[in-house]
Structure 1
Amino acid sequence: MKREMKTLSAFAILLVFLLLVVGCSGNEASNAKENGDGEKAEMKNPDEVNYPEVLTYWGELHPNAAQTAQTLNDVRAYQAVEEKTGTKVEFKHPSGEGTDITEQFNLLLASGKLPDVIEYNWRTVPKGPDNAIKDGTIIRLNELIENYAPNLNKYLNDNPEVKKMVTTDDGNIYSFPFLRGDEKLMVFMGMIIRQDWLDSLGLESPTTIAEWEEVLRAFKTKDPNGNGKQDEVPLLVQPNDFKNIGPFVGAYGIHAQFYNDNGTVKYGSIQPQFKEFLTTMNRWYEDGLLDADFAAMDGKLLDAKVTNDQLGSLFGYTGGSIGRYTGLMEDHPTFKLTATSHPALEEGGISATAQKAFPYEGYHSVAITGKAENPEAIAKWLDFAYSEEGHMIFNFGIEGESYEMVDGFPTYTEEITKNPDGLPMANALGKYIRANYGGPLIQDVRYLEQYLPLPEQKEALDIWGKTAENKINLPPTTLNADESDEFNSIMSDLNTYYDETVIRFIMGEEPLDNFDEFVATLEGMGINRAIELQQAALDRYLAR
C-alpha cells in the first residue's frame, strides 16, 4: 500500500511538473518574437518598454508636405508626437518621385545600411514581404503588435477583413499600415465632365458608350465654349488610366489587366471584348473625340487645356481635378465640372470596373528593419498614431491651430481652409497632418468631408461609388519569392510591348486586324503563365 501511495505521489508530482512546464512554455510563446531566421527570441515586458530616444526613418516626402517642409520634422504632427513621446526622429527622404524613389529604395536595400524603419509599399517589394522577412531585411511584426501596439492590435482584431489584407500568405504581418477608415475614403477618381457645356447644348450626362459618343461629337462640333472656333477637345484619358483603372474598358465587362472573374483570374486585354474597346477608342481618336495628345500628356499641358476652356471631359480626382480646376477657373462665369459614371454598353447597365481602393493596399506603410536594435520601443512609437490622441493629430493637426472642436466635430480653421499665405488646402494640410496623402495611420472620413467642400465633389463620391460596386478588381494579393521573380521577368518586356502596341491600335498606326497577332504575341511572351501565378496568389489570399 505504501509503495502504491509513493507511486501515486510521484505520478502526481510529475503531472504537476508537466503542467507547469506547459504553462511556462505557453507564456514564453506569447512573449516571444520571431527573428528573421525563424528562431524565437524573448520579448520584453510591455510595462518595461518606453518610447525610443532616437529613431531613423526613411520614406518619401510627399509633395503635399514638401512645399513647406524640408523633412517630416517640419510637419506639426511630428513635432507634437515628439512632445508626447520624447522620441527624436531623423528622417531621410529620397529625392524625386515614382521610379526615382523605387531606384533609391532598391539601392538602400542593396547597401545593407538600413535605418530603423522604412516607409514603402512593402506588399509590392521584389520577391514579396515574406522573403524580406526571411532574409532579415525587415522583421515579422505579429508578436510585436500583440504586445506593444495595443491600438493597432485592437483595430485589426475588430476588423478581420482588414487584418486579412495586412497579413501575408505565410501569416506574417510586415508593416504598420496606412488604412482607409471609411467606404467614402476608398473612391476618389473617375470620369469628370463640363456640366456647363452639357447645359448649353441641352444634353444629359452620358451613361452608355453610345451616349458618350453623342455627347463627345456635340462637344466637337457645336462650339460649347462659345468662342466661334472648333478648338474644343472632347475627351482626355491617358493610357495608364485606360490600363489600370478602366474607364470605358469596363463597359465591355472586363478589366484591361488582371481581374477576378468569380475566383478565376483573367487578363482582360487578351479577351475578344478588348478588341471592341480598342475599336471604339480608335474611332474616337480618328474623329477627333479623344485628345490627339492623350499618349504624351503631362500636368502642365492638361492644366492648359482646362484653363484655356478647351477640355470637355477627363479622368481625374475629386480634389486634384474637380476642386483644383474649379478654383483655377473661378473667374470663368459658367465653368462647372461634375462627375459622371463610367459607362455601360446598355441602358441601365453598370461598368464592370472603376476606381475603388481597398482599406489596405500597401502604400505609405512602415516596416521595422532587421537592423533596428529596439523593435519593441519602435512598435510602441508607431502605435501612437493609432491611438485616439495620435489619430486626431495625424488627421487634424493641432487643436487651436489647424482645427477647433465645434459641436464635437474637429473643424479645420482658416489656417487650412483659407490659408493666409495663399497655400492650396492640400499644402496647408501638409503643414500639419498626413491624412491627405497617407502614412502609418487610420484615415478619418471627417478629414475628407472638409477637404471636399464643393457639392460637386461630394456628389462625385456617390456617382463613382455606385459605378465602383463591382467584384472583378483583384484584392491585395502577394506573390511569393519565386513567383515574384518569374512574374516580374515576364511582365517587364510584356508591358513595354503592350503599352506601345495599345497606343498604336488607338492611334491607327497598328491595324485592328492584327489584334489576334497581338494576343498571340502576349501569349508567346508568357501572359498565360503570369495568369497562373496571379491565380495561385488569389487562391492563397481567399484561403487566408
Structure 2
Amino acid sequence: MRKGFAAKRVAATAMAVAMTTMSLAGCSSGNKEGTTKAEETTQAASGETTAAVAETTAGEENDKPYAGTKLTWWVKLNANVSATYPNLGDTPWAKYVQEKTGIEIEFIHPTVGSEKEQFSIMVASGEYPDIIEHQWVSYAGGPGAAIEDGVIISLNDVFEEKAPNMKKLLKEHPDIDKMVKSSDGQYYCFPFLRGLESPNITQFSSGFVLRKDVLDELGLELPETIDEWENVLRAYKDYGFEIPFVTRSEWMKDVWSPGFDNWGNFYVEDGVVKHGLIEDSRKEMIAKLHDWYEEGLISRDWLVDDKKSSQTYFTTEKSAASYAPFGQGLGQYTQILHDAKPEITQELIRSTVPVTSEKGKNAKFSKMNQIYDKSGVSAAISTSCSNVDAAAWLLDWMYSEEGNLCCNFGIEGETYEMKDGKPVYTDVIMKNPDGLSVSNALAAYTRASTSGICVQDPAYIEQYYEADNQKEALQLSMKTDMGKHFFPPTSVASEDSESYADIMNNVTTLSDEMEAQFISGTVSLDEWDNYMKQLKDFGIEDAIAMMQKAYDVYMAN
C-alpha cells in the first residue's frame, strides 16, 4: 500500500461515518490478517475457474455458467437514464443482461453531484462492491496505484484465463492493449471504447450549430477561421440576435482555442509534452474572447451557461450560433425551431468545421474524444469481489458478439432488427411510442450512448444522427488533427502523484479564475505576465516534466 494512503483512508473513513449517504449492501468485508486484498482475491481467482469455463462464450451449451450468482456494481447514474428510471437495474437493458447471463446485479449509484466525494469515501472505507465503474485513469497516482492501494485487482491473469473476448480484442488491437494497462504493465479494467481504430465517427459528438438561413440572406459563407467567425458574429448581432454565440461554460475556451493553434491542457507534439496554458497563443485567444465579450458577441453569462440555457437562447432566436452535441443539440434545436416555424428546416440549421488557424486546413486541435480516455469510464473488479470468476465472465460477455449487440442496439425483435446483416433500430428507439426521446430510449435499452463498458459501434452513431444536417455535422467535425496530439491515457508515476495533484489543483484554480477575469475585463491583460509567473511558481513546468516522463514510459511499454 502506498505511503500516505493509509492515513488518508483513516481520515476519510471518519468522514464517512458522518457523511455516508449510500448503501453498499452485498459488498464483502476487508482484508484477512497478514494478506493484502489484492493477494487474497488474486489467489482465489486463480484457483476457481477451469479452462472449460474460461473458453465458454455466449451461444455455447453452457451459456450461463454463473446463473444464480449475485454481484454488486457501483456506477454513476447517467442523466438520460435517470430521466426515466431511478436505477440502472430497472432499465430494459439491465433486465435483459440478467436474463441472458443468469447473474443477478445490484446497481449502486452515488448521489448525483457528489460522485467524486462518495467515490473517495468508498475507497477510504476499505469495503467495496464487486464491480466499480470509474474513470480509473484519473485515480490519484494512476490505475496502478489503485491496485497497489488494494482497491482493485490486477486483471493480467483474468484476461489471459477468464476473458476470451477481451483477450482477442486486445491481441487484434495493440494500441488499445497499451491504453488499458497501468504504467507498470498491469491490466486493470474492462473499458468503454469509442470504436477500435482512430479516427472513427464515434469519437465525435459535438460541433458548431448555426442559422444558415440568415447567413444566406446576408451573403455570408459558413465560417472556418477566427476572422470569418468574427465577421459572422458581428453580422448576427447587427441582424438583431441578442447574443450571437452561446455554449456551455466548460466548452467556451476549448471551442475557440483551436483557432489560435492553442489547447488549454497537456498535448504532445513530435514526442514532446506541452501545455497550452503557458504558450503565447493562449494570450491571443483570451484577448479575442475579451473583445467579443465587450462587443456582446458572446454571452455575458458564459460562466454559468449550461445545456439548458444554451438550448433556450438558440431555440427562442436570441442566439444564432452555438456549440452543442449533435443529438440533443443540433437535432433538438432543429426540431424545436421547425415546430415553431415550419419554414425553418434542417437545411437552414447547419454545422461547420472546427475553427482553424488557416482556411482550408484541418484544425490542429478540437473537442475530439480519444478511443479510451478520462471522459469515459471503465469497470474494474474490486478486491472485495465475492466471485471474481463470475464478475470477469459477466464483464467479458459485454465484448462478445451477443453482448456487443445488446450494449449498442438493445433487444433483437424489440429495439432492433437485422437487415442485410446489419442491426437497424426499430421505432421503439427512433420514434418511441411512449414519447421517449431517442437519447432517452437509447439510455433505457443500451449502454453505448451513456459511456457504459462496451465498444461503441459506428452503426449506433450513424442511426442516432439520422437527419442529414447531423450526418453532415459528423463528417465536418472530423476535419481535425487532434488525434496526432492526444496525450495518451496514462498517469504520472506513483511517486510523483501527490506533488502533481497539488500543482495541477493550484494551476487549474488559478487559470480558471484569471482567464475568466481577463475575458470579462475585471483584470487587465497587462497582468498577463504576472499570471504566467504565478503558474510557473506553482510548478506547471514541473508538472509538464512529470507528464513527459509518464509519456515516455507509456511509449516504451
**TM-score between the two structures when normalised by the length of structure 2:** 0.86
User: Does 2:337 align with 1:337?
Assistant: no
Shift of 1:67: 2.2
Q: Which residue of 2 aligns with 1:56?
A: 72
User: Does 2:518 align with 1:518?
Assistant: no
Whether contact under 8 Å (2:247, 2:305) holds in the other structure is no
State the AA in 1 paired with 2:449.
N
User: Does 2:229 align with 1:212?
Assistant: yes
Whether contact under 8 Å (2:75, 2:108) holds in the other structure is yes
User: Does 2:423 align with 1:410?
Assistant: yes
| Alignment partners' CA distance in 1, 2:209 and 2:311 | 14
Which shifted more, 122-131 or 44-53? 44-53
User: Does 2:125 align with 1:111?
Assistant: yes
- The correspondence of residues 144-155 of structure 1 with structure 2, limited to 5 A, is 144-155=158-169
State the AA in 2 paired with 1:46.
A
- The correspondence of residues 317-356 of structure 1 with structure 2, limited to 5 A, is 317-331=325-339, 332=341, 333-334=343-344, 336-356=348-368
SS of equivalent to 1:190? strand
Q: Flag the 1:192–1:213 CA change in 2: closer, same or farther, 3 A.
A: same
| Alignment partners' CA distance in 2, 1:48 and 1:471 | 41
Whether contact under 8 Å (2:311, 2:329) holds in the other structure is no
Q: Which residue of 2 aligns with 1:8?
A: none
Match of 1:45 among 43, 47, 50: 50
SS of equivalent to 1:79? helix
Which shifted more, 88-97 or 465-474? 465-474
Shift of 1:343: 2.4
Whether contact under 8 Å (1:355, 1:468) holds in the other structure is no
Over 6 Å off, 4+ runs = none
Whether contact under 8 Å (2:249, 2:306) holds in the other structure is no
Shift of 1:328: 2.0
Shift of 1:132: 1.1
Q: Flag the 1:220–1:40 CA change in 2: closer, same or farther, 3 A.
A: closer
User: Does 2:513 align with 1:508?
Assistant: no
Q: Flag the 1:345–1:443 CA change in 2: closer, same or farther, 3 A.
A: closer
User: Does 2:192 align with 1:181?
Assistant: no
| Alignment partners' CA distance in 2, 1:72 and 1:144 | 26
| Alignment partners' CA distance in 2, 1:78 and 1:501 | 45
Q: Flag the 1:76–1:188 CA change in 2: closer, same or farther, 3 A.
A: same
- The correspondence of residues 91-110 of structure 1 with structure 2, limited to 5 A, is 91-97=107-113, 100-110=114-124
State the AA in 2 paired with 1:509.
T
Residue by residue, what CA displacement relative to the aligned partner does 1:176-234 show, whole Å, maximum 9, x if unpaired? 1111225110111222222122112111001111111111111111x2xxxxxx34311
What percentage of residue pairs aligned between the two structures are identical?
38
Q: Which residue of 2 aligns with 1:433?
A: 446
Whether contact under 8 Å (2:241, 2:319) holds in the other structure is no
- The correspondence of residues 128-167 of structure 1 with structure 2, limited to 5 A, is 128-167=142-181
Shift of 1:39: 11
Q: Which residue of 1 aligns with 2:104?
A: 88
| Alignment partners' CA distance in 2, 1:292 and 1:430 | 34
Shift of 1:330: 2.3
State the AA in 2 paired with 1:190.
G
| Alignment partners' CA distance in 1, 2:414 and 2:372 | 30
User: Does 2:284 align with 1:300?
Assistant: no
- The correspondence of residues 377-456 of structure 1 with structure 2, limited to 5 A, is 377-456=390-469
| Alignment partners' CA distance in 2, 1:411 and 1:104 | 39
State the AA in 2 paired with 1:507.
S
Would you say how many aligned residue pairs link Structure 1 and Structure 2? 500
Whether contact under 8 Å (1:352, 1:470) holds in the other structure is no
| Alignment partners' CA distance in 1, 2:407 and 2:360 | 42
Residue by residue, what CA displacement relative to the aligned partner does 1:2-22 show, whole Å, maximum 9, x if unpaired? xxxxxxxxxxxxxxxxxxxxx
| Structure 1 residues without counterparts, runs of 5 or longer | 1-33, 224-229
Residue by residue, what CA displacement relative to the aligned partner does 1:13-49 show, whole Å, maximum 9, x if unpaired? xxxxxxxxxxxxxxxxxxxxx9725997343323257
SS of equivalent to 2:355? coil
Residue by residue, what CA displacement relative to the aligned partner does 1:342-375 show, whole Å, maximum 9, x if unpaired? 2233333332200221211152211000011321
Shift of 1:484: 2.0
| Alignment partners' CA distance in 2, 1:51 and 1:502 | 54
- The correspondence of residues 447-526 of structure 1 with structure 2, limited to 5 A, is 447-526=460-539
Match of 2:278 among 248, 263, 270: 270
Q: Which residue of 2 aligns with 1:313?
A: 321
| Structure 2 residues without counterparts, runs of 5 or longer | 1-35, 55-64
**TM-score between the two structures when normalised by the length of structure 1:** 0.88
Q: Flag the 1:426–1:66 CA change in 2: closer, same or farther, 3 A.
A: same
Q: Which residue of 2 aligns with 1:4?
A: none
| Alignment partners' CA distance in 2, 1:255 and 1:492 | 18
RMSD: 1.9
State the AA in 1 paired with 2:66.
Y
User: Which of 1 and 2 has greater Rg?
Assistant: 1
SS of equivalent to 2:97? helix
Shift of 1:166: 0.7
